[in-house]
Amino acid sequence: MRTIGNIIWLIFGGIVMAAVWAFIGAICYVTVVGIPLGRQAFKMASLTLTPFGRNIVYGGGAPSVVANVFWVIIAGIPMATLYVTLGILLCATLVGIPWGVQCFKLAKLSLLPFGSMVV
C-alpha cells in the first residue's frame, strides 16, 4: 500500500509541492541567514515526495523552540493552513482519507520543522 500511495501522491501533486518546497529552500540558501530555513524547506520537500511509510520524530531543545517561533510567523501558518484545508477536502471522501492523513502529517511538520527528523 505504501508504494501505491506514494505513486498516486506523486501523480496528483506531490512532485509539484516538492518542487515548490525545493524552490523555497534554494531561495533561502541565497543568504547566509536563510540557510537554516532552507534546510527545513528541503526537509519538507523530501517528505512531500514520498510521505507514505515515513514518520516524523519531534525533539530538539531551546534553540529549536526559538527557531520554530520565527518559522511559524514567516512560513508555518500559511503552509499549515493550506495542508489542513487540503486534508479536510480529501477526508471528505472515503477514497481520499489516506491522502488527507498525510496532509495533516505535513501540516504539523510545516508548523514545527526545527528539531524534527523524518525517519
pTM, two decimal places: 0.82
Predicted pLDDT at 26: 94
Q: Measured between alpha carbons, how far is residue 45 from residues 23, 42, 66, 79, 91 in Å?
A: 9, 5, 22, 13, 23
Structural contact between residues 44 and 113, judged by C-beta atoms closer than 8 angstroms: yes
Q: What is the mean pLDDT of the chain?
A: 89
Predicted pLDDT at 89: 93
Q: Retrieve residue 45's grid coordinates.
A: 520537500
10-residue mean pLDDT series, the chain (119 residues): 89 89 92 88 89 86 85 87 92 91 91 87
Nearest to 72 by CA among 115, 40, 104, 111: 111
